Structure 1
Amino acid sequence: MYIKKILLVIALLGLVAGGIFAYYVYQAVFSPNTNFESKSTTIYLPTDATYTELIEVITPVVNDIYSFDRIARRKGYVNSIKAGRYIIKKGSNNNEIINTLRSNNAPIHVSFNNQERLENLAGRIATQIEADSVSLVTAFKDTAFLNEKGFVSENALAMYIPNKYEFFWNTSATQFRERMLKEYNRFWNTNRLSKLKEIGLTREQVATIASIVQKETAKVDERPRVAGVYMNRYLNGWKLDADPTVIFALKKHRNDWDTVIKRVLYKDLEIDSPYNTYKYKELPPGPISMPDISSIDAVLNYERHEYYFFVANVENFGYHKFAKTIGQHNRNKKQYINWINKQGINR
């Protein structure tokens, strides 16, 4: 009888211990374990991150790092850390957090436009994905890649079509470049290639003219007309005489890309540079900035007209006055010069 009582007590103690253990396991696995007030928080795990680095990143996010660590080890997550951007929802338990870190790398939207050089593009992209600007510039200027794909360093900017794209945060520099090449080829669809053939230009030439058009006017509805002026000049063997190309040439010559030049002076027109379209009839070696889609399409669908000249319209700011003859243009230009002198803009 006495032995039976002992066995009963032992059994009861075992049940209690088992219940306590089961409760602990349940708490560790399924109880909420987040330490933030917002609906969610985002963490970033760099490429080749170790488990120790993961613990450093996740510690501020969870209430109980010890229970997280224990469950992570039991689930075998310690040896399967994956780089990426992960969104942890408020109230998530350890099991849900670990499952998120295993398989829910959240994509981001990467956008860019109006970049003047590959270096500027790299700086812009580096603020949005893991790859740094140095690795991006190296990838963008890789001679072997450019030669293989039919580009040179001067026109490589044309390969990057401004838009909003979905990427994983841990995209590498070469992965970004390869994706942009695919987007570039997708952009130049059958319709655009047909337009290209119709106007007798290459994709790179269109990008170069489009970059000038974009610098000349911010008004999307005016871009086909401005493009028409430059196409009239180009197709008739004229020099383009485009102020933005001179500004680019000056910046490049001085290696000063931060300077702001609001007024091109006559002495500036003498700079000896292939980008100076007042001196050379040939198109510049490449884009003087990153043309957006509206500027590219403006060139492909340029307005057919007889205008060869244009100047800023001081009566309708942002737009331009167009002229067919030099006499008419000089009258329009005089009005603009008088206005700009009154503003005291000397440079």
Structure 2
Amino acid sequence: MSVKAKRGILLTIIFIVMAVIGLGAGLLLYVGKGLAPADPSTEVQRIAYPPGTGVAQLANVLEEKGIVRDARLFTYYVKLKGEGSRFQAGEYEMTPGMTRDDIIAKLNRGETVKAEVVRLTVPEGFTVKQVAEKLSEQGLDGAAFATAAAKFRAPAESWAARIPDDAPLKDRLEGYLFPETYEWKKDVSAEEMVASMVEQLDKRLQELPKDWQAALEAHGLSFHQLMTIASLIEREVVVEEERSLVSSVIHNRLKLNKQLEIDATVQYLLDKQKERLLFADLKVDSPYNTYLNKGLPPGPIASPSLSSIRAALYPAESPYLFYVTKKDGSKTHLFAETFEQHKRNIALSNQ
């Protein structure tokens, strides 16, 4: 081979090597620029990452929002690092200028944006009316809630489906909106609120002893009657230890077919609660008035706690037929077996 030919081959090799080096440098420059953080900005971007979304789809969203420069390169980088499998679905807030590793770390930690929520605490012993009023106080549509509660019909498997259709109820769902703290999305409807509160009752009933339905049957009560007794206990008792004792008084009087004479049932009829009921209040003509009518009122008068439901199912064994609240601020009661003892307790309670 001539010197000239050798020189030509050498020049070709040099050219190829330089071309390869040039291409490599260009590729490195392209990759480096494509993976570099986007130009910094204080404008926060919302990034939606729904369940089932692939890394490539996420990368496209990140590029569209200006969080990464090149979706394809970011996807390759994530796969090269062995990441992506721990990314948590949700909605994120990110700002341009974040490094690729910061983005990956945020997705791995699941630092999602908390959705705006409606929070409502329903205290034990609240009525449907009080729940609606509390919603109105929070700037929500309490009237729509009351309407939804009146129209609600529970699914067949729910305990609320056992509410009798022919009972003269003041509020159909009274007692069936379980007292709890609820959180809903900002756009929750009144119907969804009502349904979730009824569903919560079904869930919490599962915490009762396994024999609770047998206990209910042994008392000869329907579920609706159980909830009615529980609501009476809830409105009458403050001290936990007395729930089963007040329950025993209610059960004992029912067995003897006596009027229950429970003030809370009369208070339920009034537009506003009174500190002390008048004699005229006890004469109000209503099926809820347990001074005039024997047996239970048509339905619950408030939302009972699980403790009151349990006490209604498992009353204490006692001979008591009467109780009166002490006036010493303890919110406890004096119990009696006879009316004579009860009159003495009334005198004692006022001392």
Cα RMSD after superposing both structures: 5.0
Question: Structure 1 217/185 Cα, relative in aligned 2: closer, same or farther at 3 Å?
Answer: closer
Residues of 2 paired with 1:186 and 1:275: CA distance?
A: 29
Residues of 2 paired with 1:114 and 1:319: CA distance?
A: 18
Question: In the alignment, what sits opposite 1:270?
Answer: 283
Q: How far did residue 121 of structure 1 move? A: 3.8
The equivalent position to 1:69 in structure 2, one of 62, 65, 76, is: 65
Whether 1:220 and 2:240 are equivalent positions in the alignment is: yes
Where do residues 1-347 of structure 1 align in structure 2 (5 Å cutoff)? 11=23, 14-15=26-27, 17-24=29-36, 27-28=37-38, 69-71=65-67, 93-95=102-104, 100=110, 112-121=122-131, 136-145=145-154, 149-151=161-163, 154-163=171-180, 173-174=191-192, 176=196, 179-180=199-200, 182-183=202-203, 186=206, 190-251=210-271, 259-314=272-327, 317-337=330-350, 339=351
Matched-pair identity in %: 25
Gaps of 5+ in 1: 36-42, 46-65, 76-83, 252-258, 340-347
Residues of 1 paired with 2:201 and 2:326: CA distance?
A: 39
More helix by share: 1
Residues of 1 paired with 2:326 and 2:297: CA distance?
A: 26
Deviation string, structure 1 residues 141-171 (Cα, Å, up to 9, x no partner): 3354479923256452333444568988877
What SS class does the counterpart of residue 229 from structure 1 fall into?
helix
What SS class does the counterpart of residue 159 from structure 1 fall into?
coil
Residues of 2 paired with 1:85 and 1:205: CA distance?
A: 45
Question: Structure 1 28/94 Cα, relative in aligned 2: closer, same or farther at 3 Å?
Answer: farther
Question: In the alignment, what sits opposite 1:58?
Answer: none
Q: How far did residue 180 of structure 1 move? A: 2.9
In the superposition, the TM-score normalised over structure 1's length comes to 0.64
Please tell me the residue identity of whatever aligns with 1:284. P
Residues of 2 paired with 1:328 and 1:185: CA distance?
A: 37
Number of matched pairs: 290
In the superposition, the TM-score normalised over structure 2's length comes to 0.63
Question: Structure 1 248/16 Cα, relative in aligned 2: closer, same or farther at 3 Å?
Answer: same
Q: How far did residue 226 of structure 1 move? A: 0.9
Structure with higher Rg: it is 2
Q: How far did residue 220 of structure 1 move? A: 1.0
Confirm or deny: 8 A CA contact 1:227 1:299 kept in the other structure: yes
Deviation string, structure 1 residues 12-56 (Cα, Å, up to 9, x no partner): 8735641542342xx259x9x998xxxxxxx9x9xxxxxxxxxxx
Residues of 1 paired with 2:202 and 2:344: CA distance?
A: 48
Confirm or deny: 8 A CA contact 1:228 1:304 kept in the other structure: yes
Gaps of 5+ in 2: 1-10, 49-61, 73-88
